[in-house]
Amino acid sequence: MTRTAADALHRPVLDWYAVHARDLPWRRPECSPWGVLVSEVMLQQTPVSRVEPVWCAWLERWPTPGRLAEEPAGEAVRAWGRLGYPRRALRLHAAARTIRDEHGGQVPDDLESLRQLPGVGEYTAAAVRTFAYGGRAVVVDTNIRRVLVRALTGRALPAPALTRAETELAGAALPGDDAAAATWNVAVMELGALVCTARSPDCAACPVAGRCAWRRAGHPAYDGPPRRGQAWAGTDRQCRGVLVQVLREATTPVAAERLALAWTDDLQRERCLDALVADGLVEPLARRTYRLPG
């Protein structure tokens, strides 16, 4: 990639975003850094359409980290609803307590402090820094990786796992101006979500189609390592979700017999229940009863 090739993408992508950006509540100027952090955790492996109503209810109930930190962790899991991967709720609750106890109730704005928050990795730290505070950071999610790999390297899809080369590519593609760089991150992300999708890219609607290395090369097929989809039906993931949902809907501790009605495979149910207890998502009580963590 040449610097000129990346620079040529900036203005078309930023202009496209100014017209086509979705009006999402966590992108509005009035959204707090806490709201941005909550959105980034919720959006991990979960589509916007499922996240938005849960995010709105969450921020109405817990508009600040301190408000969430006052509640038991089980309430965060209960409010998580059906977003999946409920350990994210526990981590967000733990992050809220850390923010309250170590940062005066304010989401930190520097990468190092953000990375130290429970459940916050490199991507989430960079996203909060740039989307909440307008700071310069290299944000690399699935959509950004796909757009940049196609436009600048001519490959159909990025590798199954993030590589150092892709991180360096994203860093080199950032505009020089910090404010433009912050908008660029979300603009490329939006382009990947709406136009340069994995399965059905709409090249006719792409603002950089004429500059896209993948399109100029004739849209060569992906030739990298196999990309396997995630199974769901009958898996431990489904079993865990069913068990947590039973507890989420209950107002009192739930007996093991009731969980057995929800998932009839005894060995799988017990294995998943043990894992949920180990993960801190379920609290075992006397007489083989269970509840969300207190």
Helical spans, DSSP H, in the chain: 3-20, 33-42, 48-61, 65-69, 73-79, 87-102, 111-115, 122-133, 142-148, 164-173, 178-194, 213-216, 236-249, 256-262, 266-278
Among 96, 106, 185, 100, which residue's Cα sits nearest to residue 139? Answer: 185
In sequence order, the β-bridge partners of residue 289 are: 255, 285
- Residue indicated by tokens 């039973």: 246
Please identify which of the residues 30, 40, 71, 270 carries the catalytic annotation. Answer: 40
Distance separating alpha carbons of residues 117 and 123, to the nearest angstrom: 13
Tokens encoding 123? 């991507």
Confirm whether 40 is a catalytic residue.
yes
Task: Please list the active-site residues.
Answer: 40
